Each structure stands twice: as C-alpha cells, then as structure tokens.
Amino acid sequence: MTIRLPVVLTFAALVAGLAAGVVLAASGLALWLRDAIALVGTVWLRALQMTIIPLVASLLVLGLSQMVRAASAGAAARRFLMLVFGVLIAGGVFTAVMLPLLLEIVPIPPSAAGFLAEGAGQAQEVPGILDFLASLVAPNIIAAAAETAMLPLTIFFALFALAVTRLPEEQGERLLGFFHALANAMLLIIGWVLWVAPAGVFALAFGVGLRSGSGAFAALAHYILVVSAMGGFVLVLAYVLAAVLGGISPWRFARAALPAQAVAVSTQSSLASLPAMLDSASRLGLRAATAEFVLPLAVAIFRATSPAMNMAVALYVAALAGVEITPVAAIAGILVALVISVGSVSLPGSISFVISIGPIALAMGVPIEPLALLVAVEMLPDIMRTLANVTMNLAVTSAVDRTGK
C-alpha cells in the first residue's frame, strides 16, 4: 500500500515551531498557552508511540518469513543473504564503535539539550551481562509488550516467523494473512498520525525553541551531518565490496552506478531506482539472470544502511540524554537493528524511521521522545540512506554474480 506523507510540510512546521519559540521566548508568553501547545505535542507523540509494537510485530513476521522463503530459492539467494547479513552487521558494529569517537571530536552543541528538557522520559536501566542473557527470553510476551522490552519481543517474533514457515501451507498462509492485515491496519493508523505531524511537530519544536533559542538550528544541522556520516560508511563499503568480491574496479563501478545513484537521490526510493539499477548492472557486464533475480530481491528485503544509520540516531539521542551505552547495550541495539531492518525495507522513510529506531532505542535504554522531532528532518539523511542502499544493492549483485560463475 502507498502512503503519501506531508514530509515537506512537516519539515516546514519544525522550522516554524523553532522560530516561533525563539521569537517568543522573551515575550512572557502566558503559561496556559505554553501548556496548551505542549499538550498538543504530547498527545501527538503518544499517538505515534502506540503503534510501534503491533506494527513491528507484524512486519517482523512478514519480513522474516519472506527471507526464509528467499533462502530456499537456490544457491544464489543463499549467497545474497550471507552478504546481506554481513553488510548489516558491519554497519551496526561500525556505528557502535565510531559514532561515540566522532562525537568526542565534534561534540553535540550545548543548545541540543533543549530537545530533552520536556517529556524526555526516564532511560531504561540496562542489565548486566547475566541479566541481559536471561532477559532474552520473556516468560510472558504480553507483559514484555507492556514493558516495551523490545529485545525479547524481537526474538519471540523472529522465532514465530520461522515457525510459521514450517506449518502446513494452508495454516501458514492464514497466519501470514492475519499479520498482513494487522500491518496494513497499523500503517493506516500511523499514516493518519503522520498526516497531522505538522501540528504535533510544530508544538514540540515550539517548546524546544523556547528552551534552546536559535542554537536549536545548529543542533539539528550537527545531527544530520553525524547520522549521514554513518551512512557514508555503507556507501564506501559498497565500492570496496564491488572491488574485492565483485572484481570491479572502483572507477568502473562508479561510472556504471552513477545513473542509478542520480535516480536514488532525486526520488529517495530504492523501488523507483530499480530500472536504473538494472541498467547499471548491464553496464557492469553482470549476467541478466543474476541482476533480474538479486536486485528485486534486494529492494524487497535489504536496506543496507538500516543498522548503521538507525544505531547512529539511537546513539546520538543517548549522548544527548547522557545515557552511558555499555557493550551489552550496544549488542542489544545491534541485534534489534539487524532484525528490525528486515521488516521496514518497503516502508516510506518517515514510517520506517519511527518503527525502526524506536525499538532500538528501547532495547538500549535510550529515551525515544526526541525521535518525534527528529522524524521531521529525516528527509535529509534519507538522501544518504537511499544513495548508499542503491549503491550497495549493485555491489552485492556484482559479488553474487562473480561467485556464481
């Protein structure tokens, strides 16, 4: 299903809200008016949060069952899936290690503290290693959902998806039909919530402008550049992968990939870039049978930048909130990011931002309230997401093609 979101209007509401807050900060705005505006933001934020768990659950079941079916399609599909998991894990680990170092070199502006001043919530306590291992299995899934314990929920629904693929065909299709309907219903609800995002984002941004002043704009620019830098790693990795496993020189790969990259940047859609990717694969001399099998599959189940850039957002908010990310928390975040990436590949950027990063942040004990504002600027990092995703799809296709000869 296609959901068109008022992305540009939401971004404009963010800018307008920050500007209004900055202008009116010293005007002695009536307390009741401040509270009324804050209430609008709070209600919208809660409406955004209420769909996360049912939507994540349904998309996980659908995405993982699709991946299991893909693995049974033959040797080429299995080689593709091995590369997919390798890239996703590499991206998550790179961000977990490098983003804290980057923030030491280029610290978060002090004005960014205003993004947490109201309603940031309490960060969840991250358990030690033994408690962490014990928490991987929830004795009560309903209670785990009520407590937003994302890691055991993610593991449960991953196992559930695997179990569905082992059922008799009729039973499996019936269950998948239920989760497909549930996902569509949740997407409709979150689509309605995001349709009124301009009002909610304006209200939240207004409060940030009151607290942070004009420095809030610098804080957002810093966030966009830092998160996009983690996507840049995946982009560079694509050229390395094409050279090492695909046997294609970086210069030749760059020339062939350029048309597909241009479409990716202009449309911010991997699906819309698929015809251009097939043309680029032909320019690279890849076998048509490989390209026509791998590239559509990659568009369906592979979003190369997801763990790297989604972890970057969660770690950025953690640094903003002063939450210490232990190795255990980082592992939890990477595991959830890896599995969640499977379920969010076909969603619009604003929706995938909410349902992908929220579970990662919750698994790491990071407050998720700032995500409601950061979603308004996702249209900018999303350019890097799509560019790197499309480039990596071509690189993986070249590797599958070469190893299959």
- pLDDT score of 73: 64
- Please give the tally of structural domains in the chain: 1
Alpha carbons 270 and 390: distance in angstroms, whole number:
6
Alpha carbons 375 and 161: distance in angstroms, whole number:
29
Answer whether residue 121 shows pLDDT above 50.
Answer: no
Alpha carbons 387 and 395: distance in angstroms, whole number:
12
Answer whether residue 237 shows pLDDT above 70.
Answer: yes
Q: Could you tell me the two tokens for 61?
A: 């079941």
Mean pLDDT confidence for 187-197: 83
The answer to whether residue 2 is domain-embedded is no
Residue ranges making up the domain that contains 181: 7-403
Alpha carbons 330 and 384: distance in angstroms, whole number:
23
> pLDDT digits over 260-316, tens only?
999 998 888 887 888 999 999 999 999 988 888 888 888 878 889 999 999 999 999
- Please, which pLDDT band fits residue 225 given cuts at 50, 70 and 90? very high
The answer to whether residue 36 is domain-embedded is yes
Answer whether residue 90 shows pLDDT above 90.
Answer: yes
Across the chain, mean pLDDT equals 82
Answer whether residue 122 shows pLDDT above 80.
Answer: no
Alpha carbons 205 and 184: distance in angstroms, whole number:
30
Rounded to two decimals, the pTM is: 0.81
The answer to whether residue 173 is domain-embedded is yes
The answer to whether residue 148 is domain-embedded is yes
Answer whether residue 232 shows pLDDT above 80.
Answer: yes
Closest C-alpha to 88, from 379, 388, 374, 328? 388
CATH code of the domain covering residue 337: 1.10.3860
Closest C-alpha to 109, from 199, 17, 221, 10? 221
Answer whether residue 76 shows pLDDT above 80.
Answer: no
Answer whether residue 254 shows pLDDT above 60.
Answer: yes
Mean pLDDT confidence for 334-354: 72
Percent of the chain with pLDDT over 90: 26
The answer to whether residue 315 is domain-embedded is yes
